Structure 1
């Protein structure tokens, strides 16, 4: 069942997603060699609660933390821990909040210190692929158009697309129908309509697309242990263009100041 949101509900979703965006901006201020992902998690939880919201991931189906922090070959659902980040690492930070009964959900992959050119290019391409997908989140197109756009852009650069993990609808539940794959055929899949709100989240690997779940029951990593990048926006399908409800503005303001 796909729930179409009213204009009022979309504004509540925007509020939740902008809080996620601001939380990621706070996290961005802390990321450097020597910091632990548990420290990032603690700051995120404090910031979310200070803004009268609840961390959306904490205790969700038993997940133990407020952020998913996935380092290097970890694709998604990494559990924050006390291991310090190192120069040249990448860390995907996925954040969710629940505010006014609606969820926000967004992710950004950060470089820690200086990255190698090939990893830098992976991050750039994954983020570009996200926006290629968003360009197709328009009424009258189909889900396959989004996946096709993400897949085509990523594979043209020689990267591979994770298939088992997908985007999803967002609303009063963190994960709603429909599923939003990062691969697909143009003109196939669910018809996109105004009022649909979906999380588009490319997970793109430097090596092969195959993944495995680690023994903690959560963390997904690449089988070949090559790095993976992950960027995510929550968007409302529009008549002429998608309405991006989350934002990377706060993250990018911090990164610009640091560079």
Structure 2
């Protein structure tokens, strides 16, 4: 595979892109699953200068993230369509960014005029990076970052009267087909918690980055979870990965990211 052609790939990238650096970010679990050796920390730098932070701008918002954050490329660029929509919907709303990573949805909600924004993730490192990004954009006082389990956050939100908009973007709950049944239970529980944390008439964005979970399956999990919470969910919009993550027509499994934006109402 590509691992055997790593030197050729690097040479091609240098010739075409003229990058400042090339870093191998293959997760150990992925390396094990594909049957090749894990890349040692001191061997990840494949080209160029040493990089300690990932600095970039998306839609006018500035991000500066430590390279040690391990999720994908270090940032979920594929969720740009959802972030754009949440910003447009946020004015005057209380917004919960659940499983927020570095709080990119929260930043967009704050810029969109949300009255209150809370960003929750169980990773202390991600939350600290999110705080730095908020400060970088002059939003340090506009977003409340919390290190917490998402279900605990949902329970607290319900006690506090609920949010107008809840985004739930959990880690991959069904990494492979053999995990699908268990993963569907996880999405159902996520949906139930998110619906309980949302005011009547509010919005829930339920996300899945599991290729093994179809959009229809995610919608079933949402319907069941909403019912568990004593509510019903009306799907208003669907989002997928951005156009910079194209899907080969011959490989429909490449459509891995699904987002259901729904209005939540009492049964």
Tell me if both proteins adopt one fold, taking TM over 0.5 as the criterion: no
When the two structures are superposed, what TM-score results if normalisation uses the length of structure 2? Answer: 0.28
More helix by share: 2
Choose between structure 1 and 2 for higher RCO, CA contacts under 8 A separated by at least 6 residues: 1
After TM superposition, the score normalised by the length of structure 1 is: 0.29
